[in-house]
Structure 1
Amino acid sequence: MKIKNIIFDWSGTLVDDLPAVWRATNEVFQKAGVPELSLDEFRKEFQLPFNSFYQRFLPDVDMEQLEIWFHGSFREKQDLVDGLPHAREFLRFCRDRHVRTFVLSTASNEHYQVQASKTGYGKYIDRPYLGVWDKRKRINAILKENDLHPDETLFIGDMEHDIDTAKHGGVRSCGVLTGYNKMHQLKAAEPDVLVEHLGELRERLQRDGMRLAKNGSRSDSEHPVPTVGAAIYNDEGKLLLIRTQKWSHKWGIPGGKIHRGETAEAAIIREVKEETNLVISGLRFIEQQDVIDPSEFYRAAHFILLNFDSRAHGLQQVLLNDEGEDWNWFEPKQALELDLNHPSRRLLEKLGED
């Protein structure tokens, strides 16, 4: 069936409030006299319903007091919250296709109103359900109140709890890699679809006429995808590597899909510019790889990967787009000691043999 209704999680799905929530939580921990969490530790440990999270770390502090501390701190940090990439375009996509839209979130009405006003997203939401600690306990009532058919309804979220909520309501589920949970956590929850961001989901729904093909289904991956990658060396002979969520946070070379009408060389120059801000030259084709359902990638896929090496001359500044998490220049031998994704390791080992 076609998707006619979409229920969004808010935090980590439409807006990026992770830095603000993490910092506010650490201020709560400070007041309670317990050690703070690093961002990675917070993402690993945080869970919904969030009272379960606090019960594990601060069992002796009253929940009402924790709420007072948290919201007081969060108000001071709310200017850090902004819309996620692709969210506005996805909401417009839904509006243009007369898809009914809802928000089901733990966020308070106070914080939602501030963020919805700042981002302008509020006008695209038909009805928000806010301050819901356990979404599993509300999903069925929401379906009934709004006469939503489960087979025509999609729940989109960034946490295991969101996927569990979708299953509890018998609706379709989509995990997005833009928020709190990391890829392995979302994969373990077994959503119907796992996407890097809402832009990818928009493309899939548009391609399939608002029908949702599960990851790895024939309609999702009928043909291999031609892609390009590049080992990039600077004037000191160091190699640029980046880390991305979609490759399980492993280090790898920049790259991406070849667009229709584009040569492989033009594609890698464009992809590198988009992903890193670097202008590369001296392209040399190295090898083709058949990358079939790589376990490190966030979904089943078949790539025909054309790999090059290249040069980035001068004092160019690396600026990652929203896909990248981290970057660095490495000595080639040092790079091989890193936790690399398999296609990148194979390329670097081949370059080391030349």
Structure 2
Amino acid sequence: MNESSSSPTADHIVWDWNGTLLADNHAVVAAVNVVCSAFGAEHVDLYRWRSVFGRPLWRAYEKVLGREIAQRDWARIDRMYHEAYRELLHTCELAADAPEVLLGWWNAGRSQSLLSMFFHEELVPLVESFGLSSVFSRVDGLRDPAAGGSKAEHLVAHLGALGVDPSETVVVGDVADDASAAEWAGADCVLVSTGVMSREALEATGRPVVDSLGEAVERLAGARVL
């Protein structure tokens, strides 16, 4: 745990999905390797992908593919990646402590929602399949694939739709973009090291970095230890 950052407070948690609540690292790496094979590049492992992962995402691919990526190549890479990822989505499970943490927070009378950059029409039934819909006051995914990129504007819209004060909100995610979005919206943030970004990159944001969802909730002042 990164103890150098102060503990945030929260009346409301906005959870990220991929790499945070959903343990999908194996599917991510496998999908990236489908792209690597298509471009004649060496396969990567999770350590390697974490070492290059960042925004904009095409730069990470340039590092593992060893070449510049033209716009037509990026469209192909994006399509290829998501097709391969979807084929493995059925093998992905929730993070080990996700049900306990989510139910504990909800049953304590606190509010929480889900905001993901995964496609909305696929996210909603996936969340329902895990029996989690009832513990979120709102679930938002990416409704317009062309409007991807930073999570910041999506977070502002998400909190606005909820009528939640950003200053009383903590975002829990697994990448630096979650921290950037929280800062943009005026919310706080805790990052978990369970996803596809290196701990060093997470700690560079200056936000608290923990190793599990339970630890993330424990860092929220006033929260019950789950």
> Structure 1's 38 and 162: CA in aligned 2 closer, same or farther, altered over 3 A?
same
Structure 2: runs of 5 or more not aligned: 1-7, 143-147
Deviations 1:219-248 (A, max 9, x none): xxxxxxxxxxxxxxxxxxxxxxxxxxxxxx
Structure-2-length-normalised TM-score? 0.80
Between structures 1 and 2, the one with greater strand share:
1
1:204 Cα deviation after fit:
4.3
Counterpart position of 1:59: 69
Is the partner of 1:30 in helix, strand or coil?
Answer: helix
Which structure is higher in RCO with an 8 Å CA cutoff and minimum separation 6?
Answer: 2
Of residues 107, 110, 115 in structure 2, which corresponds to 1:104?
Answer: 115
Q: Is the 8 A contact 2:171 2:178 kept in 1?
A: yes
Counterpart position of 1:162: 178
Counterpart position of 2:136: 125
> Structure 1's 203 and 210: CA in aligned 2 closer, same or farther, altered over 3 A?
closer
1:168 Cα deviation after fit:
1.2
Counterpart position of 1:200: 215
Percent identity, aligned pairs only, is 26
- One-letter code aligned to 2:93: D
- Give the alignment's Cα RMSD to 1 decimal: 2.4
- One-letter code aligned to 1:190: G
1:24 Cα deviation after fit:
0.8
1:34 paired with 2:47, answer: no
Structure 1: runs of 5 or more not aligned: 212-354
Give the whole-Å Cα distance in 2 for the aligned partners of 1:79 and 1:108. Answer: 16
Deviations 1:280-315 (A, max 9, x none): xxxxxxxxxxxxxxxxxxxxxxxxxxxxxxxxxxxx
Give the whole-Å Cα distance in 1 for the aligned partners of 2:180 and 2:99. Answer: 25
| Structure 1 stretch displaced more, 119-128 or 160-169 | 119-128
Give the whole-Å Cα distance in 2 for the aligned partners of 1:190 and 1:158. Answer: 14
Give the whole-Å Cα distance in 2 for the aligned partners of 1:49 and 1:5. Answer: 29
Q: Is the 8 A contact 1:81 1:115 kept in 2?
A: no
1:202 Cα deviation after fit:
3.2
Between structures 1 and 2, the one with greater helix share:
2
1:184 paired with 2:184, answer: no
Is the partner of 1:62 in helix, strand or coil?
Answer: helix
Paired positions, count: 208
Is the partner of 1:189 in helix, strand or coil?
Answer: coil
Counterpart position of 2:145: none
Q: Is the 8 A contact 1:93 1:202 kept in 2?
A: no
Q: Is the 8 A contact 2:192 2:210 kept in 1?
A: yes
